[in-house]
Each structure stands twice: as C-alpha cells, then as structure tokens.
C-alpha cells in the first residue's frame, strides 16, 4: 500500500462507519430530495475526480472490474434498501437497516474489497481509491432512493383519502 492510498482508505472507512451507525439506528427520514442524494453524490464526485486525475487510459480488465463493481454496488444498494425497515410514528417517517441490511452491507463490502484485490493482482490499479469511493457512493445513493420510495409508500398508506 502506498502512502497515497492511506488517506483514501481512512476516508472510506470513516464514511462506512458513519453510514452504518446512522442507518442501523432508527432515524427520521427527512422528506427532502437533497437529503437523499447530497452525501452519496459528494462521495461519487470525489471518486470520479480521483479516477479522472490519475487514470486517463483504461484497459479492458480495468473497465470490466469497474463495471462489475458498479453492478455489485447497485444490486447491493437495491437489496439493502428493500430490507430496510420503515415506520411511521407520530406523523413522521423513520427508517433503519436492521440486521439483514447490515448483513448485505458487510457482504457488499467484502465483495467490493475482493474486486479491488483482484484488480491489484491484475495490475489494474483503477479498482482502488476513486473507484471504491464511486462504488460506495453509488451503493448509498441506490439505498437512499429505495428507502425514500418505501417511505413515500408508507406515508401514502397512512394518509386518509
């Protein structure tokens, strides 16, 4: 591991810990679109900047690993969002991932880090750092959108017509 990857690793670890702590406990879901996409889009933007800044020419193995990483992130995000628990309390909507969501998140991170390891073995350095941040951001954005959709349906179920 080079000195340049240490800050990336620390940022990714901090993001994952913060998200897990927040999403494992019951949290009020603000009904604002900005709350859904703001954090994940910032993470994706940082990752894209790092990818663009360091890797202008991509080979076949790198592109394949990036696509596989993106697909894994999106599938895990949808699955995690679908198992998230959403409740309405006193007119407000709350959510949490719960144990099934935690299991999916951990499995996703293990697979994603495994892809980074495969990329390292193949000499495709693009699969770490920025790509990892883009992948985690896409996962969180997908989760947030699915949870927001569930919350909207929960509110509609309880709204008198």
- Residue 84: per-residue pLDDT: 92
Are residues 131 and 51 in contact, defined by beta-carbon separation less than 8 angstroms? yes
Residue (of 101, 105, 96) closest to 136 by Cα position: 105
The residue extents of the domains of the chain are: 5-153
- Residue holding tokens 């509609």? 156
- Residue 3: per-residue pLDDT: 47
Q: Report the distance separating Cα 48 and Cα 129, nearest Å.
A: 10
Are residues 154 and 84 in contact, defined by beta-carbon separation less than 8 angstroms? no
Q: Which residues of the chain fall below pLDDT 50? A: 1-3
pLDDT tens-place string over residues 32-72:
666 677 888 888 898 888 777 665 566 778 888 888 989 99
For the entire predicted model, the pTM comes to 0.79
């Amino acid at each position: 591991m080079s000195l340049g990857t240490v800050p990336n690793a620390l940022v990714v670890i901090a993001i994952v810990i913060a998200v897990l702590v927040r999403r494992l406990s019951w949290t009020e879901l603000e009904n604002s679109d900005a709350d859904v996409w703001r954090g994940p889009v910032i993470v994706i933007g940082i990752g894209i900047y790092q990818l663009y800044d360091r890797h202008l020419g991509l080979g076949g193995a790198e592109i394949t690993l990036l696509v596989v990483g993106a697909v894994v992130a999106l599938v895990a995000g949808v699955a995690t969002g679908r198992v998230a628990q959403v409740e309405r309390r006193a007119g407000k909507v709350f959510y949490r991932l719960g144990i099934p969501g935690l299991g999916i998140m951990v499995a996703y991170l293990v697979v994603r880090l495994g892809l980074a390891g495969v990329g390292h073995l193949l000499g495709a350095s693009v699969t770490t750092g920025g790509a990892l941040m883009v992948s985690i951001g896409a996962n969180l954005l997908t989760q947030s959108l699915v949870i927001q959709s569930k919350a909207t349906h929960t509110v509609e179920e309880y709204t008198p017509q």
